[in-house]
Structure 1
Amino acid sequence: MGLFDFVGNIGKKIFSKEEDASSAVTNHIAEDNPGVENVAVTVENGVASISGVATTAEAVEKAVLMAGNIEGISTVNVDNVEVLQGELAGEEEFYVIQKGDSLWKIAEHKYGNGAKYTAIVAANKEVIKDENKIFPGQKIRLPRNL
């Protein structure tokens, strides 16, 4: 499946020392579990390696974003995740928030209709807790076929 790159020095801070990172990231994903059974994460040198069984490719993508949008994580590896249904999206289905972006502007550019930002929020509910609090460098999923 592969590796996904992130900006490692931004995002939600959930651990201070790398020795606490594996359990902190595992717990973070488990709290809002997007559909990955037996999820476990090991973190080493900024690389979060996720393992488990995902019900869908979308569940894996959400787990990747949950882990990658944490400060201190620069790469997410999903080679040890079994996907029961679907194919993972390519990088073109992800978007990195730029300075000055709003979800409305992103939806307007991607779908031709800014009001479709609500679909972006729904597709990223695990990483966008408040639609007014997105930040440059944050990576999100862009739903297909809207």
Structure 2
Amino acid sequence: MGLLSFAIDAGKKLLGLGDDEGKIKEEIKLSSQTMPIENLEVKVEGDTVVLKGDGSQEAKEKAALIAGNIEGIKKVEFEGVRDESDENYYEIQKGDNLSKISKKFYGNPNLYNKIFEANREVIKDMDLIYPGQKIRIPKLEK
């Protein structure tokens, strides 16, 4: 089972108002309509979210990022999602913007849109990213 770590004090505020599992499930469904997870199950265990369901590798990774970028969540487990050591994930730092991140990973600040497109479910506006938010850095096709 893949395990991703997140900044517990960063992200969208959804928890603590009742039915945390239902709210996370709804957030994933709303944010990943183009890549749905079938038979999605969500379980909140303290600061950890355990996800189960059927979907593509990319859909599962995006669902894990959506769940992990909720304030109060430190870890997300999802069978089939590679640990962050196997994939390029990046935690946004103070002063970052997508062009800076693109330059860091690709050597070209103008490829920021690749990062934005790979994280549309987590980044709604490319000018509104925040420290502690975790995103995927897609590999460039050769």
Q: TM-score with structure 2 length normalisation? A: 0.90
- Asked whether the 8 Å contact 1:120–1:141 carries over to 2, the reply is yes
1:66 aligns with 2:81: no
Q: Which residue in the other structure is 1:41 paired with?
A: 42
Unpaired runs of 5+ residues, structure 2, are none
Q: Which residue in the other structure is 1:51 paired with?
A: 52
- Asked whether the 8 Å contact 1:62–1:126 carries over to 2, the reply is yes
Name the CA distance, whole Å, in 2 between partners of 1:139 and 1:21: 20
| Residue number among 102, 110, 126 corresponding to 1:115 in the alignment | 110
User: Which deviations, in whole Å up to 9, do the C-alpha atoms of 1:44-100 show, x marking residues without a partner?
Assistant: 20110101101x211111011000000111110113xxx5xxx73743510000111
Runs of 4+ in 1 over 6 A off after TM superposition: none
Q: Which residue in the other structure is 1:138 paired with?
A: 133
The RMSD of aligned alpha carbons is: 1.6
Percent identity over the alignment is: 43
Q: Which residue in the other structure is 1:29 paired with?
A: 28
- Asked whether the 8 Å contact 1:58–1:88 carries over to 2, the reply is no
SS at match of 1:95: strand
Aligned residue identity for 1:13: K
SS at match of 2:93: coil
Greater relative CO (CA pairs within 8 A, separation 6+): 2
Unpaired runs of 5+ residues, structure 1, are none
Q: How many residues align?
A: 138
Name the CA distance, whole Å, in 1 between partners of 2:125 and 2:52: 28
Q: CA deviation at 1:40?
A: 1.8
1:94 aligns with 2:98: no
Name the CA distance, whole Å, in 2 between partners of 1:143 and 1:23: 29
- The aligned runs of 1:123-134 (5 Å cut-off) are 123-134=118-129
SS at match of 1:117: helix
User: Which deviations, in whole Å up to 9, do the C-alpha atoms of 1:3-36 show, x marking residues without a partner?
Assistant: 111111110001324x521111011101122331
